[in-house]
Amino acid sequence: MYLGWLALKIARRTMQDAEEDWKHRKWYDLYFKAAEAYDLLDRYRTLYSVGQGRVAPTQAMEDSWNDLMMHVRVCHTMSTVFPKNRDIDDLHEATKFSKDEYVYDNERFKKFGDAVEGLRQKALLKPSVLE
């Protein structure tokens, strides 16, 4: 009887650990995709702005924009299946922008960075994992 109880206790703990690991991986996956999109936006802003003005559109600029938008869409697709959460809301709010309207807005760019940081906090490994 004791062995049965012990086996059940071990099985429950194993299932809890597996569920916790799965949840952590989902937060990490979303964080990773959001960080990629943030980095692409940073690159786009760096390459295609000159001081306060903007450069004339080129095919490379359009390709970069399309790549950025694809990454943002992937973030949105992944994040919409998560339960209601402030970090997800912040990500959505920060990534609703258009090329002409918000891309060069420093405040919105900071909000995007803050949203990515919020996701990073959820994706952090527990110190015991690294020991």
Q: pLDDT-derived band of residue 7, with 50, 70 and 90 as boundaries?
A: confident
Q: How many angstroms separate the first and last alpha carbons of the chain?
A: 35
- Structure pTM? 0.79
C-alpha to C-alpha distance for 37 and 31, rounded to whole angstroms: 10
Asked if 35 and 117 touch (Cβ cutoff 8 Å), the reply is no
- Summarize pLDDT for 23-72 with one digit per residue, the tens: 788 889 999 999 999 999 999 988 887 655 566 778 888 899 999 999 99
Task: State the average pLDDT over residues 104-118.
Answer: 92
Give the per-residue pLDDT at 55. 64
Task: State the average pLDDT over residues 1-11.
Answer: 77
Give the per-residue pLDDT at 5. 79
User: pLDDT over 90 for what percent of the chain?
Assistant: 40
Residue that is written with structure tokens 């209601």 in the block: 84
In degrees, rounded to 5, the angle at the alpha carbon of residue 80 between the alpha carbons of residues 123 and 122 is 15
H, E, C per residue of 10-52: HHHHHHHHHHHHHHHHHHHHHHHHHHHHHHHHHHHHHHCEECC
